[in-house]
Structure 1
Amino acid sequence: MATQTPAVRRSRIGSAVASGRGLMRALFTPGSRRRRQEGLLLELLGQLKLMTEEIHRANLIQQYRLTLRQMDRMVDDPSLADAANTLPGLSEVKRRQMIFANRQYGNLLLAHRVGACDWDELIGHLRVLCLNALFAEYWDRTAEHRRSLPADSIEARVGAVVDVMLEELADDPDEWWIVGPSPGEPAP
């Protein structure tokens, strides 16, 4: 490597400094500064959206925990179950079974809503649940409850799929499990 004179070194350093100044001017000119700010704002909005979705999922989980605590208390104390009972004429044992069937369905629905299972997994779990005679009875007894759901709600759409599954199972139990593609996922 050849030795450089101080003047050559200064000119190279000067060139690097001049290039750096040019880059700094380009970064901080009004147009590039605005583009950079817009990029940062878009990134921040994306992160805010993700955080909002996560808070919504956490709220759904917390609400379900509260519901489960109430159901547990109803199972433990029949007098409380009487206060919340919307299915008349049930024995204490049958009421407990209906509460548990509701818990199973609610748990599957929550799993889908928070992203723990996708639509196809949800349908598969519901297909298995539909084979249970107590769940089928619970579903039949609570049909009126689902009529008040907004048609575009996820629970109404899942309920319509379960209705079809139970109808198909009742029509031909031997061929019921052999099905084509599952009903398409409802629009979010």
Structure 2
Amino acid sequence: MVTQRTGNRGLSAVTAALVLSVTGTTASLFAYRRTVETLLRANAELLRRLDLVEEQRREAVRRADRVEYQRDHRNLLLTAVADPDLLPVLDAYERDLPPQVQKQYLFANTLYVHALHGYRVGLLNRGELLGHVRVLFQNPTMRAYWEATRHHRASLPYDSDEAELGRMTDDLLAELDDADTDEWWVVGDGGAED
């Protein structure tokens, strides 16, 4: 006997094929979407890292510029100290000083700025910086320089490294003057936390 076929069976096969096709396409779209989202997250992370590298590069350039600026400063001071005609150009004190004292003060400034620069470029931490300052200011010429340049420090921006070190130095000198001990090397912490 022959079985009669109806057209519905063909339609079921087409429907099944369409369902499989739509399901496959939907799965492909979801996979595509997950891939795109993963790529976007990776791209965002890459951009974040590139920004970090760029900031590190800018900081390295700032440090190199600071080192070069410090070198220029030292060379200008050396030029003025070597030439008696140029020395008066750097006389920014509130009273007349003989050339010998001006040279001593310029050298004192160079020592002080050298310590500050070591801190700025990361060669010294705050405690080490304070230790340098503590030693430097055992000398009476350094103390006289510090007093003669007080008005210079008054013009510094309050939050600058140099202004902070100036306040730290002022505090240390006051503690040294008030100390009941001759052991100056143990006086004052000056807030020198690392």
Shorter-chain TM band: 0.7 to 0.9
User: How far apart are residue 83 of structure 1 and its match?
Assistant: 1.4
Cα contact 1:126–1:162 (8 A) shared by 2? yes
Cα contact 1:26–1:32 (8 A) shared by 2? no
Partner of 1:56: 62
Partner of 2:77: 71
Aligned amino acid, residue 131 of structure 2: G
Mark the CA change 1:26 to 1:39 in structure 2 (over 3 Å): closer, same or farther. farther
* Structure 2 counterparts to residues 29-48 of structure 1, below 5 A: 29-48=35-54
Rg: which structure is higher?
2
Corresponding residue to 2:191 among 173, 183, 188 = 183
> Number of paired residues?
163
1:40-61 CA-partner distances (Å, limit 9, x unpaired):
1111111111111111111111
Give yes or no for the alignment of 1:131 onto 2:101: no
Cα contact 2:153–2:166 (8 A) shared by 1? yes
In 2: Cα distance, 1:57 partner to 1:147 partner: 25
In 2: Cα distance, 1:75 partner to 1:180 partner: 34
Question: RMSD across aligned C-alpha pairs, in angstroms?
Answer: 2.2
1:115-162 CA-partner distances (Å, limit 9, x unpaired):
111111111111111111111111010000000111111111110010
Flag as ranges the 4+ runs of structure 1 deviating above 6 A. 25-28
Partner of 1:142: 149
TM-score (structure 1 length as normaliser): 0.79
In 2: Cα distance, 1:126 partner to 1:26 partner: 64
Q: Secondary structure at the match of 2:144?
A: helix
In 2: Cα distance, 1:82 partner to 1:138 partner: 16
Identity of aligned residues (%): 34
In 2: Cα distance, 1:94 partner to 1:70 partner: 18
Aligned amino acid, residue 63 of structure 2: R
Unaligned runs of 5+ residues in structure 1 are 1-21
Say which is worse superposed, 165-174 or 51-60, in terms of deviation.
Answer: 165-174
Aligned amino acid, residue 154 of structure 1: D
Unaligned runs of 5+ residues in structure 2 are 1-27
User: How far apart are residue 185 of structure 1 and its match?
Assistant: 4.7
User: How far apart are residue 81 of structure 1 and its match?
Assistant: 1.0
In 2: Cα distance, 1:27 partner to 1:179 partner: 66
In 2: Cα distance, 1:108 partner to 1:150 partner: 19
Aligned amino acid, residue 110 of structure 2: R
Give yes or no for the alignment of 1:84 onto 2:90: yes
TM-score (structure 2 length as normaliser): 0.77
Cα contact 1:150–1:156 (8 A) shared by 2? yes
Give yes or no for the alignment of 1:93 onto 2:100: yes
